[in-house]
Structure 1
Amino acid sequence: MAHSYLLEVGLEEMPAHVVTPSIQQLKTRVANYLTEERIDFEDIQAYSTPRRLALLISGLADKQPDVDESVKGPAKKIAQDADGNWTKAAIGFTRGQGATVDDIEFKEVKGVEYVYVEKHIQGKPVAEVLAGLNDVITAMNFPTLMRWGSFKLNFIRPIHWLVSLLDDQVVPFDILNVTAGRLTRGHRFLGHDVEIKSATDYVATLKDDFVIVDAAERKATIKDQIQAIVDQHNWVIDWDEELLEEVNNLVEWPTAFAGTFDQKYLELPEPVLITSMKDNQRFFCVRDHDGKLQPAFISVRNGNAVHLDNVIKGNERVLVPRLEDAKFFFDEDQKMTIDQYVDRLKNVSFHDKISSMYDKMARTKALANLLGQQLDLSDQELADLARAASIYKFDLTTQMVGEFAELQGIMGEIYAKRFGENEAVAAAVREHYMPISADGALPQTTVGAVLALADKLDSIYSFFAVDMIPSGSNDPYALRRQAYGIVRMLADRKWHLNLLDFQASAKQAVEQATPALGFDYAKNADAVTDFFIDRLKQLFSLDHLRHDIVDAVTDTHVTDPAAIVEAAHVLDAHKDDADLKDQVEALTRVIRLAAKGNLSEDDVKVDPSLFENPSEGQLDQAVQALIDAKEGRSLDQQFSALLELEPVISLYFEENMIMDKDEAVKNNRLSLLTILADQTAAFGNLDQLIVK
């Protein structure tokens, strides 16, 4: 008979951002526990509110299946004495297995006989297994933990009640001083304690007590209510999914409502107004059909519509001082100049082991200029880049960013325009933070992209220089994210930058710009390069590239991310070519022999007068034609041209002994192979490719 089981953990209100990951964690842990305990089930439905984490398991088996297993004991020579009598070791082993010496069998394992007994293990009833869920619950981990009372358990919030129902029967277990039963709690203000008669009654019972336990249903209810208000007022809403998720995890019985504020606050920049309402009050902003913000908001209360007018007035009243503060910050910030804000950065620490934020900007400016020259920016772009790099962190010392840190860069752009900077400079101030997440938007302007590269490169170089290198999961300064952003930007714009060479050049540029640097800017350069290669591998994994292709393109001396990415996509495009196996094998044979020859650069010389067979001249001509045509070809065309050499290469190996006894002939042949092998370097180590 299939059963249903309800587990509910009742808590003090959890932080909104913890609710969803916590119920997902509980579901995974319980599913793993049941699997480990050999309890079959069909499905697990997860439910959550700020005050509860619940699971409804359906199709649960009656019991564990019985198991017959062969249990290994001591070796025969230990189990019996010289006369064949059972030793204490044998007797103790069988007793421990609930058997007798009469049940012993001998089995040979790797030439040695051992004692075995066949054991029948009766499956536990499902209720007995479920009673062990207390350990599953208390093993959960959270970003923040607390203790309560005199208890030593660390948990997200104090546990106040537990429900554990197998169909309509309680499966008791204890966590601290709380015993699982059938009593749950309804809405904190509208509901009361209520008994759950049967596991499958859970959702309906709590809905009758003003709790929507299904997070998806609750979110849909919120959206429907908000949309109804929007339609009623002929507004438009840009759904903020992050805010919607947060609000959903703040309420158990949602009721949406609209409020208004004074028109004068619309004079504030939109990001300020939106952030002030979103972050402080969890309000949704609304617009008219022309996209203009309206002096109104929508919020969601945790309760019903009783006395809703009072709730609206209260929310409107609370919003006013928030908007007044924002207006004050905005007005006050404009009483100073950008240069004054920049000067304040001398007293803002980037990191106490590295420098002030002011000095970081000086280093970034040197890198930005170097990048701009290498990436062929126009004179105007270089001028804009220099100006942007001189001021781009200035808004960190404004009052607005001091209050709303998430507006850094955004306010920088707004203030830069108000202080007379041109569009390119202002945009770069905002864009230098981009991308702000692994898959975040990239800078749209050239100046912004170069400044973003320079700023992130400086952060990585600086932290590596003082030996603060990310290890394991430890990356407090988000260097992995910044390196990943650099890789994405270079690949997206097809900007070719040799990272190893650039760091050496950056060291010289930075030391000239900031003589009192205080650390070796190019320290751990190899580790920096490896760090970027790892980020490339991360990028390739998200592109679902084959592992052998990733291994091939990253096993290289090339440190140009854009080139490596392009090479990976070329190899991926050819992975199913019909003749690829023979073609790659021919090229890898060339590569191996060239490596074995290990000729110095000065020794690589091809002398046609030493050719002994026509195939040598044919390969030499083919390689020269390949090199001559390289400049006008795409990387894909270059790879195709390499593959097309297979017949010439194969004939060459058929007719010529590479390691000839004549040293001059041998080196001549190795020189030709070395020149050809060098043409494959752009594609990494082709020997890593798995071709069938």
Structure 2
Amino acid sequence: MTELLWEIGCEELPATFVAPTLAQIEQLFQDKFTAARLWDKDADDAALRVLGTPRRLVLHAHGLAARQPDETLVVKGPAQNIAFTAEGEPSKAAIGFANKNGVQVGELTVVDGYVQATVKRAGQSAAEIAAELLPKIARELTFPKAMRWGSGKLRFARPIRWILALLDNEVVPFSIEHVATGRKTRGHRFLSPDEVEVPTIDDYFNLMRDKFVLLDPEERRQMIVEQATSLAKREADGDVQINPALLDENVFLTEYPTAVLGSFSTEFLQLPTPVLITAMRKHQRYFPVFAADGSLLPRFVAVRNGGGEYLDTVRAGYEQVLVARFNDAKFFFDLDTTTPLSAKIDGTKNIVFQEKLGTVYEKSLRLSPILRDGGLLTELGAGEAQNVLRAAELSKADLASEMVKELPALQGIVGRDYAGRDGEPETVAAAIAEHYMPKGAGEALPETVAGRLLAIADRVDTLTGYSGIGIFPTGTSDPYALRRAGSGLVALLGVDRSLPALATLFDAAWNAYHTQGIALTETREQAYAYFLTLIGQRLNASLEEKGVRYDVRDAVLAAPITHVFDTQARAVTLGAQADSAGVREAAAALLRIGNILRFAAKEGVEIPATDADPTLFEQDVEGQLWSAYLDTREKYATAADAGDWERALALLGALRPAVDAFFESVMVMGDDTARRANRLAMLSRVRETYNEYAEFDKLVAG
């Protein structure tokens, strides 16, 4: 079988670009070479690796076919009456079709009134196909930001400087933007910068290691973790804190990583620990080191893209840059702490939340009425409620601090520290930090009740405001991070059944905007529809992550979404029993009811929105169904109020015999219009109760 090695050498790629680009290369290779009949990922000898550093993107595939298999194609051509005259003579259309497909006119056949050509095509060699497909893959790669260089038209993350392409150790000839393929590559930019010739594919991997390039990101990752952990323990008696995102960044900033342990003055430990950690991580990409008791040590681990030479000089450089960052942070901290956090509230009047929705100051003022009128404080004592309202008042104040202006990632964290220094209750301080949680899908929720309630109010305010001005995420466009806000709200509301209904929360926020005189351009109904649509989308994503299958999600989310907790609980319960006899009974009953109601609507028959009138029943089974329904509705309401969704589901399934008996004996669409309307009203009420749980007809039979 055939072996392929492809390396794109370029200027240093941004660290966050490398892994996604490698994933694209792998997928595009699989798609294109499979379609070309050269690659079968399930073949016994098939092996594919994508490797990369900031300077190179590498694909290594083993097990390609040496050439495409020959194939026989049947090509459909023009209609018979167009291809041949009445006398059977070929027309220009037939001659052209035959020539195009490389066959004689006499070899054409007619099937079902159309001319066909049987074409035998010889397969191309893997070298020919690779020369065609590899540049296509390069041109189809996408990046968050791309550039053009020289006179070329290709948009790529960084300029391409060399291309290595070998198929069974022979160069695959093609070029990308005037860069021709060859068998030369380059080593580490500083440790081995010269070009080097690659005799064979096997030689390539040894050469790269000799030239101080570790191609495998996982090898670099392991090296960084082992070196950093060992250094911190051996030389500082500490534990290095490995942040996964920061580790990824260092992996893709280096080709040959070497960890370096540095230090800084203990005087900086007077600054809030999160400030020091953020300055290390965000600005310098250093890992902090902690003592056994959890306190921050005046040490750090940096990762050098190079070997172990001149480490003292390198360390001194790292320390010097960090001290400059810490001095800046100390300046901002000293300036901020000359006044209490509450004094910074006025500064939020100059920070725009959204041009149509007012300032951050106005947003912070809306949080208190949302908390009160939205029913978020009803379970709290007076003192607890007051703490939540105080946290709402101070929640955005740190956005006007010099520290957060310099380090925006510290919003909330700085507020918590400053509030604590001002003597605010710990509950208040914690809520200020926690109201930004969760910061992303699957991340930690607030630990305190105050933090959770304030986080809910903050997101309800955001989503209500944007819905009210008609801004809604579409496709991949979500410039205001509304999906993240929606996911956060779903996560927050999904852990406590006692929290208020979505409509209650929305109305509290809606009224808070209007009380401030902020003009929301959408009607309340349209804005709430936008709001619920987004919540439904994020609920769908959350349920998918929980393993709830697609048809169950569709069925439950088609029902009214009033409480996030209950909607999730119904979906999980239905998902666990989707193939049970009870659910099949409910689905079958609803299908029969739905069919007749849809037929009536199609025929233009009005379906009353009232309860059925028992005096109009003509047969016993009508009264029996109505009685069974009324009993079920009462018991269902009790079960729903208690959140007993298993009981509620069982009740709906138990209604099927009465439904079946009704349909077997009653002509629903009879001539008596009053009785017909009464029967349709009864069936409509029955369907409404089913649909409070889920639209069961959306379930797919297992």
TM-score when scaled to structure 2? 0.91
Q: Choose which of 410, 417, 420 in structure 2 pairs with 1:417.
A: 420
In the alignment, the residues of structure 2 paired with residue 218 and residue 629 of structure 1 have an alpha-carbon distance, to the nearest angstrom, of: 59
Q: Choose which of 81, 89, 92 in structure 1 pairs with 2:96.
A: 92
Q: Which amino acid aligns with 2:699?
A: L
In the alignment, the residues of structure 1 paired with residue 347 and residue 230 of structure 2 have an alpha-carbon distance, to the nearest angstrom, of: 49
Alignment of 1:141 onto 2:142: yes
Q: Which residue of 2 aligns with 1:34?
A: 33
Aligned-residue Cα RMSD (Å) equals: 2.7
SS at match of 2:93: helix
Change (3 A) 1:589 1:29: closer
Q: Output one character per residue of 1:37-58: Cα deviation in whole Å (capped at 9) or x when no partner.
A: 2212522211111110011111
Q: Which residue of 1 aligns with 2:611?
A: 604
SS at match of 1:146: coil
Q: Which amino acid aligns with 1:64?
A: Q
Q: Summarize the alignment of residues 129-168 of structure 1 with structure 2, pairs less than 5 Å apart.
A: 129-132=129-132, 133-168=134-169
Q: CA deviation at 1:458?
A: 1.6
Q: CA deviation at 1:343?
A: 0.5
Q: Which residue of 2 aligns with 1:14?
A: 13
SS at match of 2:300: strand
Q: Which residue of 2 aligns with 1:539?
A: 542
Contact 1:349 1:356 in 2 (8 A): yes
Q: Which residue of 1 aligns with 2:43?
A: none
Q: Choose which of 37, 49, 54 in structure 2 pairs with 1:50.
A: 54
In the alignment, the residues of structure 2 paired with residue 113 and residue 590 of structure 1 have an alpha-carbon distance, to the nearest angstrom, of: 48
Q: Choose which of 189, 208, 215 in structure 2 pairs with 1:206.
A: 208
Q: Which residue of 2 aligns with 1:222?
A: 224
In the alignment, the residues of structure 1 paired with residue 341 and residue 519 of structure 2 have an alpha-carbon distance, to the nearest angstrom, of: 25
In the alignment, the residues of structure 1 paired with residue 148 and residue 476 of structure 2 have an alpha-carbon distance, to the nearest angstrom, of: 26
Q: Which amino acid aligns with 1:196?
A: V
Q: Choose which of 63, 82, 92 in structure 2 pairs with 1:78.
A: 82
Q: Which residue of 2 aligns with 1:125?
A: 125
In the alignment, the residues of structure 2 paired with residue 589 and residue 665 of structure 1 have an alpha-carbon distance, to the nearest angstrom, of: 19
SS at match of 2:191: coil
Change (3 A) 1:623 1:415: same
Q: Which residue of 2 aligns with 1:475?
A: 478
Alignment of 1:582 onto 2:602: no
In the alignment, the residues of structure 2 paired with residue 521 and residue 599 of structure 1 have an alpha-carbon distance, to the nearest angstrom, of: 29
Q: CA deviation at 1:659?
A: 6.2
What are structure 2's unaligned runs of at least 5 residues?
41-45
Change (3 A) 1:240 1:476: same
Contact 1:594 1:677 in 2 (8 A): no
Q: Summarize the alignment of residues 425-444 of structure 1 with structure 2, pairs less than 5 Å apart.
A: 425-444=428-447
Q: Summarize the alignment of residues 107-118 of structure 1 with structure 2, pairs less than 5 Å apart.
A: 107-109=110-112, 112-114=113-115, 116-118=116-118
Q: CA deviation at 1:393?
A: 0.7
Contact 1:258 1:296 in 2 (8 A): yes
In the alignment, the residues of structure 2 paired with residue 284 and residue 61 of structure 1 have an alpha-carbon distance, to the nearest angstrom, of: 47
In the alignment, the residues of structure 2 paired with residue 517 and residue 653 of structure 1 have an alpha-carbon distance, to the nearest angstrom, of: 53
In the alignment, the residues of structure 2 paired with residue 302 and residue 503 of structure 1 have an alpha-carbon distance, to the nearest angstrom, of: 52
SS at match of 1:13: coil
In the alignment, the residues of structure 2 paired with residue 434 and residue 470 of structure 1 have an alpha-carbon distance, to the nearest angstrom, of: 21
In the alignment, the residues of structure 2 paired with residue 170 and residue 625 of structure 1 have an alpha-carbon distance, to the nearest angstrom, of: 76
Q: CA deviation at 1:463?
A: 1.8
Q: Which amino acid aligns with 1:397?
A: A
Q: Choose which of 611, 623, 627 in structure 2 pairs with 1:620.
A: 627
Contact 2:77 2:97 in 1 (8 A): yes
Alignment of 1:188 onto 2:192: no
In the alignment, the residues of structure 1 paired with residue 546 and residue 509 of structure 2 have an alpha-carbon distance, to the nearest angstrom, of: 31
In the alignment, the residues of structure 2 paired with residue 551 and residue 228 of structure 1 have an alpha-carbon distance, to the nearest angstrom, of: 51
Q: Which residue of 1 aligns with 2:251?
A: 248
Alignment of 1:571 onto 2:574: yes
Q: Which amino acid aligns with 1:320?
A: V
Q: Summarize the alignment of residues 388-537 of structure 1 with structure 2, pairs less than 5 Å apart.
A: 388-500=391-503, 502-512=505-515, 514-515=516-517, 517=519, 519=521, 522=524, 524-537=527-540
SS at match of 1:226: helix
Q: Which residue of 2 aligns with 1:384?
A: 387
Q: CA deviation at 1:689?
A: 2.9
Change (3 A) 1:172 1:426: same
Q: CA deviation at 1:668?
A: 6.6
Q: Output one character per residue of 1:161-197: Cα deviation in whole Å (capped at 9) or x when no partner.
A: 1101112211121112211101100111111221111
Q: CA deviation at 1:635?
A: 2.3
Moved more, 84-93 or 670-679: 670-679
Contact 1:497 1:562 in 2 (8 A): no
SS at match of 2:185: strand
Moved more, 395-404 or 551-560: 551-560
Q: Summarize the alignment of residues 322-361 of structure 1 with structure 2, pairs less than 5 Å apart.
A: 322-361=325-364
Contact 2:612 2:679 in 1 (8 A): no
Q: Output one character per residue of 1:432-471: Cα deviation in whole Å (capped at 9) or x when no partner.
A: 2122112222222222222212211221222222222222
Q: Summarize the alignment of residues 255-270 of structure 1 with structure 2, pairs less than 5 Å apart.
A: 255-270=258-273
SS at match of 2:308: coil
Q: Which amino acid aligns with 1:570?
A: T
Contact 2:352 2:359 in 1 (8 A): yes
Moved more, 620-629 or 462-471: 620-629
Moved more, 657-666 or 362-371: 657-666
SS at match of 2:326: helix
Aligned length: 685
Q: CA deviation at 1:78?
A: 2.7
Q: CA deviation at 1:589?
A: 4.1
Contact 1:265 1:323 in 2 (8 A): yes
Q: CA deviation at 1:648?
A: 4.5
Alignment of 1:61 onto 2:71: no
TM-score when scaled to structure 1? 0.92
In the alignment, the residues of structure 1 paired with residue 635 and residue 95 of structure 2 have an alpha-carbon distance, to the nearest angstrom, of: 84
Moved more, 72-81 or 299-308: 72-81
Q: Output one character per residue of 1:299-338: Cα deviation in whole Å (capped at 9) or x when no partner.
A: 1111111111111122112211111111221121111222
SS at match of 2:494: helix
Change (3 A) 1:419 1:302: same
SS at match of 2:581: coil
Q: Which amino acid aligns with 2:208?
A: L
Contact 1:4 1:200 in 2 (8 A): no
Contact 2:585 2:653 in 1 (8 A): no
In the alignment, the residues of structure 2 paired with residue 299 and residue 624 of structure 1 have an alpha-carbon distance, to the nearest angstrom, of: 70
Q: Which residue of 2 aligns with 1:320?
A: 323
Alignment of 1:555 onto 2:561: no
Q: Which amino acid aligns with 1:527?
A: Y
Q: Which amino acid aligns with 2:442?
A: D
Q: Once the two structures are aligned, what percentage of the paired residues are identical?
A: 34
In the alignment, the residues of structure 2 paired with residue 374 and residue 635 of structure 1 have an alpha-carbon distance, to the nearest angstrom, of: 27
SS at match of 2:374: helix
In the alignment, the residues of structure 2 paired with residue 351 and residue 423 of structure 1 have an alpha-carbon distance, to the nearest angstrom, of: 31
Contact 2:557 2:694 in 1 (8 A): yes
SS at match of 1:557: coil
In the alignment, the residues of structure 2 paired with residue 325 and residue 620 of structure 1 have an alpha-carbon distance, to the nearest angstrom, of: 76
Moved more, 663-672 or 185-194: 663-672
In the alignment, the residues of structure 1 paired with residue 660 and residue 484 of structure 2 have an alpha-carbon distance, to the nearest angstrom, of: 46
Change (3 A) 1:86 1:655: closer
In the alignment, the residues of structure 1 paired with residue 673 and residue 470 of structure 2 have an alpha-carbon distance, to the nearest angstrom, of: 49
SS at match of 1:680: helix
Moved more, 56-65 or 665-674: 665-674
Q: Which amino acid aligns with 1:475?
A: D
Alignment of 1:640 onto 2:639: no
Change (3 A) 1:329 1:372: farther
Q: Which amino acid aligns with 2:131?
A: A
Contact 2:374 2:508 in 1 (8 A): no
In the alignment, the residues of structure 2 paired with residue 76 and residue 534 of structure 1 have an alpha-carbon distance, to the nearest angstrom, of: 52
Q: Which residue of 2 aligns with 1:24?
A: 23
